[in-house]
Chain A
Amino acid sequence: MRAATPARPAGLSWLLIAAGLAWLGLAILLPLASVFVEAFRKGLPVFLAAFDDPDAQAAIRLTLTVALIAVPLNALFGIAAAWTVTKFEFRGKTLLLSLIDLPFSMSPVISGLVWVLLFGANGWFGPQLENLGIQVIFNVTGIVLATVLVTLPFVARELIPLMQSQGADEECAAITLGASGLKTFSLVTLPNISWALLYGVLLCNARAMGEFGAVSVVSGHIRGLTDTMPLHVEALYNDYQYASAFAVASLLAGLALVTLAAKSLLEWRFGGELARPTLSEPIKK
């Protein structure tokens, strides 16, 4: 139901287009372009040297490790949550949905803070864990926990509206015909949601690898040990090593562009199988 464009003075419409594009250029393209320009400002050797640094390599490894743990966890949760919300009727469903959505309306700094309150040196469980020799804060565990909290809604938000619109009819049919629960899930539900799942995982992964605020609170900034890529960018920048900072940043920006391209491809090809095109709308209750 595309609205037809009424005849308008051509001059005015081009002016509007120019104004809109100029604003987008200023707000979005200019910062993106500057990342790549600054990264290569001192030439290719300096750019490449930024990745020879063992601390940079450790940061890249850590970021990949954290994403590799956090994203599958939240994908699993997203499927379980969507299954719970759409295939069962129970009281408090609205509350459950609001809780799933909550990390989106919380400052990332608060998402890091809560883990320090639990497991930090002065936290609820901090001293006991210390006696056991377990360190959560200023450690990889804390970084994973903070990342999991921040990225928790992504997969669930993609799957819930889709599974809501699909209903439970096909699953009911499968079970009536004698399929087990697991078989029903893997042969009926999973194929129906695979593209939306991929879409959610994609967005979840981009955020997990790029998260800064929450991770910065729990990491302790130990170079080569607890610095993720974004934290490594910050450390370099604050050391006035701008070329290296932007070199590592350009890798993250590249990741964002790849994510965006893959996301657009999914939207264009499988638009009908994704419930919503964007992540900015709240979940419909």
Chain B
Amino acid sequence: MGFTIFYLSAIVLIPLAALVARPWEHGWSGFWDTVSDPRVLAALRLSFGVSFAAAGVNVVMGVLVAWVLVRYDFPGRRIVDAIVDLPFALPTAVAGIALATIYGPHGWVGALVAPLGVKIAYTPVGIFIALVAVGLPFIVRAVQPVLQDFDAEVEEAALTLGAESWQRASQVILPAVTPALITGFSLAFARAVGEYGSVIFIAGNMPMRSEIAPLLIVIKLQQFNYAGAASVGLAMLVLSFAVLIAINMVQLAFARRGGR
């Protein structure tokens, strides 16, 4: 027990204390000037906005993938099931250069859409695609066990009572899955906000346009602006937790409305 607490303090608590204490070197105004700088604001808006959108798309596609994996027995299902976890295991830098190449102007997909005047890599769209790829397993893995345990009898009852398939899906299954979906959404969102490796290669990193907040921390550190870097880091952490708490409250409200 002593070891646990010592280790946690040394590895998590003390470093975190440095993050919380450092931004105030130049007082409140020092922190505020950094965080309200238009470039920082743009980066925060981009990071949080695109993460939210990516997690949103993943909710739909994640449910589809989970549904397919749970409900249908097709050849190769187990392998597909294992592959879903690949974004957890694949180093982010590897995913990053792969995505940048595929969606770059000469890549498999990039060259396909270039004649249409569509640019994916080095724009916010590229960031969005990287974050979708990173977040997908969170939703699938959150929803899968619920779908698996979902009582077939309830669905059959709905069927015998004459419910159409879309009615079964929207009124019987969806409410059962929603809490897990919200959990998956918040996990995918939190991961996306902080994601660095798989994004920076495809993002183009143009200030005000496609520069994510974690990159701004790296830039400030390279300029030895520790207080500035810590300010952006702290702002990210506080905003993340605020969003996660808000999502948690939505979930609670939902649970209460579902009645017990």
Interface residues of A (CB under 8 A from B): 1-6, 8, 13, 16-17, 19-21, 23-24, 27-32, 34-35, 38, 76-77, 80-81, 83-84, 88, 96, 99-100, 102-110, 113-118, 120-124, 145, 148-149, 152, 203, 206, 209-213, 216-217, 229-231, 233-234, 237, 242, 245-246, 249, 252-253, 256-257, 259-261, 263-264, 268, 277-282
Apart from A16-B64, A108-B92, A210-B91, 18 more pairs, CB < 8 Å: A13-B71, A19-B68, A23-B136, A28-B136, A31-B90, A77-B4, A81-B8, A96-B4, A96-B8, A102-B16, A105-B244, A116-B229, A149-B15, A210-B94, A246-B97, A246-B101, A260-B82, A278-B141
Q: Which of B88, B94, B147 lies in contact with A279, CB distance below 8 A?
A: B88
A116 to B223: give the CA distance in the assembly, Å.
13
A34 to B95: give the CA distance in the assembly, Å.
10
A-B pairs with lowest CB-CB distance, top 10: A107-B194, A210-B91, A114-B15, A213-B196, A20-B68, A212-B197, A31-B98, A3-B152, A109-B214, A256-B89
The distance from the CB of A284 to the nearest CB of chain B, in whole angstroms, is: 12
Q: Beta-carbon contacts of B136-148 to A below 8 Å, as 1s and 0s? A: 1110011001011
A131 to B241: give the CA distance in the assembly, Å.
38
Which residues of chain B are within 8 angstroms of A106 by Cβ–Cβ distance?
194, 237
In chain B, positions 1-25 with a C-beta closer than 8 Å to chain A are 1, 3-5, 7-8, 11-16, 18-19, 22
B14 & A3 in contact (Cβ 8 Å cutoff):
no
Given A113-B230, A210-B90, A230-B94, is A23 in contact with B61 using a C-beta cutoff of 8 Å? yes
Q: Which of B1, B11, B78 lies in contact with A152, CB distance below 8 A?
A: B11
Q: Beta-carbon contacts of B149-161 to A below 8 Å, as 1s and 0s? A: 1111001100100
Which of B7, B84, B85, B151 is most buried by chain A, counting CB atoms within 10 A of its CB?
B85
Interface residues of B (CB under 8 A from A): 1, 3-5, 7-8, 11-16, 18-19, 22, 61, 64-65, 67-74, 78, 80-99, 101-102, 107-109, 132-133, 136-138, 141-142, 145, 147-152, 155-156, 159, 165, 183-184, 187, 190, 193-197, 201, 213-215, 217-218, 221, 224, 226, 229-230, 233, 236-237, 240-241, 244
The distance from the CB of A196 to the nearest CB of chain B, in whole angstroms, is: 17
A147 to B137: give the CA distance in the assembly, Å.
23
Which residues of chain A are within 8 angstroms of B226 by Cβ–Cβ distance?
116-117, 120, 122-123
Question: Nearest CB to that of B95 among chain A residues?
Answer: A31
Question: Nearest CB to that of A35 among chain B residues?
Answer: B98
Which residues of chain A are within 8 angstroms of B96 by Cβ–Cβ distance?
212
The distance from the CB of A171 to the nearest CB of chain B, in whole angstroms, is: 15
A115 to B78: give the CA distance in the assembly, Å.
41
B85 & A278 in contact (Cβ 8 Å cutoff):
yes
Q: Interface of chain A, helix or strand or loop or mixed?
A: helix
Which of B107, B133, B217, B224 is most buried by chain A, counting CB atoms within 10 A of its CB?
B217
Question: Nearest CB to that of A265 among chain B residues?
Answer: B82
The distance from the CB of B27 to the nearest CB of chain A, in whole angstroms, is: 17
Which residues of chain A are within 8 angstroms of B240 by Cβ–Cβ distance?
105
Question: Nearest CB to that of B88 among chain A residues?
Answer: A279
Question: Nearest CB to that of A9 among chain B residues?
Answer: B165
Which residues of chain B are within 8 angstroms of A203 by Cβ–Cβ distance?
88-89
A116 to B224: give the CA distance in the assembly, Å.
10
Which residues of chain A are within 8 angstroms of B78 by Cβ–Cβ distance?
264, 268
B98 & A32 in contact (Cβ 8 Å cutoff):
yes
A206 to B94: give the CA distance in the assembly, Å.
13
A73 to B124: give the CA distance in the assembly, Å.
39
Question: Nearest CB to that of B61 among chain A residues?
Answer: A23
A188 to B10: give the CA distance in the assembly, Å.
30
Which residues of chain A are within 8 angstroms of B89 by Cβ–Cβ distance?
203, 206, 210, 256-257, 259-260, 263
Which residues of chain B are within 8 angstroms of A114 by Cβ–Cβ distance?
15-16, 18-19
A170 to B244: give the CA distance in the assembly, Å.
39
B218 & A217 in contact (Cβ 8 Å cutoff):
yes
Question: Nearest CB to that of B188 among chain A residues?
Answer: A280
